[in-house]
Amino acid sequence: MIKTLDPTKDPIACERFERNIVAVERHSRDLAAQLRAIDSPASKVVEVGDDLNIDIGHTLFYETGVRQFVDDQYSAYTENPYRIDIGWPVRDNLPPQLMTKMAIKRLTFGAKALGIEPQANDGQQGITGFAVSLGVGIGDHIGRMLNDFEAQSLIVVEQFIEFLWYSLYLNPWDEWIELVESRKGQVFFILDDNAVSVSSELTVALRSDNGGTLDGALVYTHYRSPLVREIHKGLSDQISYIGSNRGFFEDENIMIMNSTRNFLSRDYAIWRTRPRHEKRCPAFVVAAGPSVDMAMDTIRKFKDQVVLISCGSGLKVLLSQGIKPDFHVEVENTYGQADILERIASQYDLSGITFVGAATVNPRTAAVFDKVIFFHRDTVCSSRFYELNEDPMYLAVPTVSNGGARFALGAAFKEVYLFGVDLGSRIADYHHSKASAYYTDKEFMFSFQGTKESTEMALTIDGNFGGTVVTNDGFLLSRLFMQKLMKMFSGYKVYNCSDGVEIPGAVPKLPQTIKLTSSPKDRETDLKRVDQEMQKYAKGEGVPLDRFYDLRQKTITWYQEIYAAIKEMKKETKPNPFESYGIIWALFQPKEGEVFDPIVAVVWQNNYGTLMTMFNVYFRMHRRVTDEEAPAIYQLFLDELLGFLEDMESILMGVLDELIAEVEAVEAEKVKSA
Domain assignments of the chain as residue spans, ordered by start: 2-80+125-242, 268-537, 545-673
pTM (whole model) above 0.75: yes
For the residues 530-547, what does the mean pLDDT come to? 95
CB atoms within 10 A of CB 217: 26
Q: Cis peptide leading into 398, omega within 30 of 0?
A: yes
Using a pLDDT cut of 90, give the percent of the chain over it.
61
In this predicted structure, the answer to whether residue 67 has a pLDDT above a threshold of 80 is yes
- CATH number at 2-80+125-242: 3.40.50
pLDDT at 201 over 50: yes
pLDDT band at 93 (very low <50, low <70, confident <90, very high): very low
Please report the pLDDT score of residue 249 as a whole number.
86
The whole-number pLDDT of residue 253 equals 94
Contacts 24+ apart (CB under 8 A), 450-457: 450/96, 450/474, 451/336, 455/431, 457/424, 457/425, 457/431
Share of the chain above pLDDT 70, in %: 92
Of 163-167, 423-427, 510-514, 615-619, where does the model show the most confidence?
A: 510-514
Per DSSP, the three-state class of 422 is coil
268-537 belongs to CATH 1.20.1540: no
Report yes or no: 353 and 308 within 8 Å, Cβ to Cβ.
no
Beta-strand relationship, 128-134 and 151-158: parallel
Residues in the chain, how many? 674
pLDDT at 238: 61
The pLDDT of residue 248: 79
Separation in Å, CA 648 to CA 290, 496, 499, 583: 42, 44, 45, 19
The average confidence (pLDDT) of the chain is: 89
Positive or negative, the CA dihedral 259, 286, 316, 422 is: positive
Q: Which residues of 414-442 are buried (b: 16+ CB within 10 A; e: fewer)?
A: bbbbbbbbbbbbbeeeebbbebbbbbebe
> Of 371, 372, 322, whose CA–CA distance to 349 is shortest?
322
| Whether residue 79 has pLDDT greater than 70 | yes
Confidence of residue 571 (pLDDT cuts 50, 70, 90): very high
Closest CA to 93 of 225, 254, 245: 245
pLDDT tens-digit series, residues 339-385: 889 999 999 999 999 999 999 999 999 999 999 999 999 889 999 99
pLDDT of 271 reads 97
Axis crossing angle, helix 598-622 with helix 545-569, rounded to the nearest 10? 30
Per-residue pLDDT, averaged over 51-62, amounts to: 83
Name the more confident of 458 and 518: 518
Per-residue pLDDT at 242: 62
Q: Does 127 have pLDDT greater than 80?
A: yes
Of 254, 172, 261, 285, residue with least CA distance to 449: 254
Average pLDDT over residues 94-119: 79
pLDDT at 440 over 60: yes
What is the rounded CA–CA span in Å between residue 170 and residue 155?
19
Residue 129: per-residue pLDDT: 86
Is 90 exceeded by the pLDDT of residue 659? yes
